[in-house]
Amino acid sequence: MVATYPSTSNNVDTSAQAAVLDDKDSTYSLLYFDTVGIAGPIRNILSLAGAQWTQLYPQDWENEDKLDKTSTLFEVMPVLYVHSKDGSQTVAIAECKSIELYLSEKYNLLGRNSYEKTLVRSFVSSTSSLWDDFISTVVNLKASAEVKQDQIVEYMTKKVPNWIRIHEQHLKANGLNGHYVGDTISLADLRAAALVDKILLFPSAANLITPETAPGLLKIKQVIDSDPKIIQWRESELFKSLRPTRALPQLPRAPGIKLNDRQGNKTGGV
């Protein structure tokens, strides 16, 4: 059986859990692979916020006993464990998008008001859809290498150019200032920059994302890449120990890494 959230029925008081999530002094443990993967924006948010957090790795994710998987809420990662300042309480947040939205709301990366928050969420949703499409039609597709290659070609020749075309118009409307909304980094910027990094791994992307075809997206990437807190994060031993993909050999583990204790990580792993 998977780990489940505590019951909230019958008017159960959840104010204690809410207090943990709302407290600016809470600390975090992030359970995910030793890769950049889909946790890239989450780690970037934690870095921009100056949050205190620990990286947790699964003990053996693919083991047939499934103890790592069933210790999570949906048998998937990432999972963010939020610890109260005194360490007495831990609240788990499952699913990448939910984690991103929680942290972005907490650390003011969603916009200044309800209008800006709606815009940011819209851009995030659009970008996330393109990435999710790649995961479902290529990465997780149970098919031959030939079929997968056909899917990649369609993705890179039709879907990515369409996303670039549309988003560049929105970025131009905001003045090509390196941001989707306003003048500061938002979750929309972080999501787009992460996707651009993924797209640029493909050789065919060299002609897709250029200063002529995607000035707005490249400006976003430049702004994020040059942020002092992002630079500091990328110079850390942990970041340098992350693999671009699980297909590559593991790198030496960085100091401070802990493992999933498979019991809710209430003490931040083992």
Specify if 264 maps to a domain: no
Q: What is the mean pLDDT of the chain?
A: 94
Q: Are 67 and 100 part of one and the same domain?
A: yes
How many folded domains does the chain comprise? Answer: 2
Query: Does position 64 have pLDDT exceeding 90, yes or no?
Result: no
Q: How many CA atoms lie within 13 A of 67 on its CB side?
A: 10
Specify if 269 maps to a domain: no
- What Å distances lie between residue 62 and 3, 22, 158, 245, CA to CA? 18, 34, 34, 16
Furthest CA-CA distance within the chain: 58
pTM of structure: 0.94
Specify if 243 maps to a domain: yes
Over residues 82-121, the pLDDT tens digits come to 999 999 999 999 999 999 999 999 999 999 999 999 999 9
**pLDDT confidence of residue 145:** 80
Q: Are 76 and 175 part of one and the same domain?
A: no
Q: Are 219 and 182 part of one and the same domain?
A: yes
CA 105 – CA 111 distance, rounded (Å): 8
Domain range for 251 is 15-107+235-259
CA 67 – CA 228 distance, rounded (Å): 39
Q: Are 218 and 126 part of one and the same domain?
A: yes
Q: Are 200 and 243 part of one and the same domain?
A: no
Q: Are 68 and 118 part of one and the same domain?
A: no
Over residues 136-186, the pLDDT tens digits come to 887 777 778 888 888 888 999 999 999 999 999 999 999 999 999 999 999
Q: Are 135 and 221 part of one and the same domain?
A: yes
Q: Are 199 and 243 part of one and the same domain?
A: no
In CATH, what number is assigned to the domain containing residue 92?
3.40.30.10
Over residues 223-236, the pLDDT tens digits come to 999 999 999 999 99
Q: Are 139 and 178 part of one and the same domain?
A: yes
| DSSP code per residue over 199-219 | HTTSGGGGGTSSTTT-HHHHH
Specify if 167 maps to a domain: yes
Specify if 4 maps to a domain: no
Q: Are 91 and 133 part of one and the same domain?
A: no
In CATH, what number is assigned to the domain containing residue 124?
1.20.1050.10
